[in-house]
Chain A
Amino acid sequence: MTTEDGFEEELAVRLGARAARVGAGAPVAELRVAGRRRLRRTVAVRGAAAVAVLALGAGVLTQLGGGGSAALGPAAAPSRTPSPTPSDGRLVQRGAENDILVTRVLSCPGGSFASAVPIGLETPQPELSAAGQTVEHIVRDGYDDHYFSTCRDTETNTLIVRRNPGPTGLDAAVAQALAPWPAVKVKFVDTPSYPSLLTLAREIRAEAGDWSATYKVKIVNVEIAVDGTGVIIHTPQAETAREQLIKQYGHLVSVGL
């Protein structure tokens, strides 16, 4: 046995002995009360946020010339540029809005899905919208750890579900949820889950100071890619630091100016 192994074994024993000094009965009732209090507070905050966002959305629609008549004129047609401010209160809860250096991205990518819009925005296709909302709620409730986002492709009447491709049952749950809308198609896209990308982005953000102090690499912003393919680090030293950043954080990371 090496000295190192011996020290680590001894450390484990000493930690166990130290922890064993702590003994306490579980104050279940007290914890339940605290949990209920927190739940009430969370519900209240979410409700207030949803109301605020709905009010904001209503204001935006009013400025656009009346939401209900959006399909009547070209100026009010669904935008091809995804919006970063969806009207669904639950969506606003998602992401790293409190992390200054982590950009929260909820919009849907363009490219081959140029008309894709995030679930929660108004659409002239109520079936697609309702199906999208249903899918969104189901995967958030049951599969959030494996899920990235759902977008609508209004041209092909398709929902694009980005999720971790593991055997989680998510795909089957989505297919089952879409049964009431047989005309709505679904396309699954393999991406890492949103929580995993958020964890990675937060880790990078947390270590931005170290990069600056140690390597003179100033990380200006960390962004979760809109298509869920990874995390984008923005730094003026992109060219010189790219290799080192990818080596440290893995190939889910891309580096740009």
Chain B
Amino acid sequence: MKREDIRQGDGGGGDPFDEFVSARYQALLRGAYLITGDLHDARDLLHDALARVYPKRRTIRDLGAAEGYVRTTMVRTHVSRWRRTRREVLTSAPPDSPAAQAAEPDGQLAVALAGLPRRQRAAVVLRYYLDLPVAQVAQELGCSVATAKTHLARGIKALRQELEPVRELVGRDH
């Protein structure tokens, strides 16, 4: 009975998946870009998360909730990829090249973000770019609020160490 009811609902209106993707793709991609630090990785991460949403597309009623689900999927996938590959990352894949990043606008920020562990980086992006409350950051990271606060505090401390010398120079120029 339930299955029949769901199928009857298919015919009416546009596909919620299409509507969701059209509305939120760019915002999600931007978040993914900050979390991964690489546009290609960001696209992979986002597309993988959206593919997971597709089977549940008929249940999409609240765009905010669906966006939260996609973001959570991206964050956790990103962190778990790190868990699986961190040995290789530590030994064979160097961090983003400072020289390459320096050519970008705000390359200092890119380098500083790249230097953060992935959980800290994701926490910083969720809190300071997406402006999520700490409780939601914890939920999306899949950890306790206390742990999320620890990630945020450590991330901010590391970023401050990397970025504050630049701020001081800027201050002297003015």
Contact = CB atoms under 8 A, between A and B. Distances in A.
A80 B27 CA distance: 53
A12 B128 contact: yes
Contacts of A199: 142
Interface in A4-23: 7-8, 10-12, 14-23
A31 B144 contact: no
Interface in A133-159: 137-138, 141
Interface in A27-57: 28, 30-32, 34-39, 42
A28 B51 contact: no
B30 A19 contact: yes
Contacts of B25: 24-26
A24 B129 contact: no
A22 B50 CA distance: 18
Given A11-B128, A20-B30, A28-B21, A38 B2 contact: no
Contacts, number: 107
Contacts of A22: 26, 29-30, 33, 39, 42
Given A19-B34, A24-B29, A28-B21, A14 B109 contact: yes
B144 A249 contact: yes
A248 B149 CA distance: 12
Contact of B2 (A24, A138, A203): A138
A10 to B, nearest CB: 7
B135 to A, nearest CB: 13
A26 B33 CA distance: 15
Contacts of B81: none
A58 interface: no
B75 interface: no
Interface in B97-152: 105-106, 109-110, 124-125, 128-129, 131, 142-144, 146-147
B39 to A, nearest CB: 7
A141 B56 CA distance: 10
A68 interface: no
A18 B34 contact: yes
Contacts of A18: 33-34, 105-106, 109-110
Interface residues of B, number: 44
Nearest to A20: B30
A250 interface: yes
A137 to B, nearest CB: 7
A31 B167 contact: no
B144 A26 contact: no
Contact of B22 (A28, A34, A38): A28
Interface in B65-123: 83, 105-106, 109-110
B156 A8 contact: yes
Contacts of A28: 18, 21-22
A250 B131 contact: no
Given A11-B159, A12-B131, A18-B110, 4 more contacts: A16-B129, A19-B30, A35-B54, A38-B51
Nearest first, the 10 closest Cβ-Cβ pairs linking A and B are: A35-B54, A26-B25, A19-B30, A15-B129, A38-B51, A39-B55, A34-B51, A12-B128, A35-B51, A203-B143
Interface of B: 2, 15, 17-18, 21-22, 25-26, 29-31, 33-34, 39, 42, 47, 50-55, 57, 83, 105-106, 109-110, 124-125, 128-129, 131, 142-144, 146-147, 156, 159-160, 163-164, 167
19 contacts: A11-B128, A12-B128, A12-B131, A15-B34, A15-B109, A15-B124, A18-B106, A18-B109, A19-B31, A19-B33, A19-B129, A24-B25, A28-B18, A31-B51, A35-B50, A137-B2, A203-B144, A207-B147, A249-B144
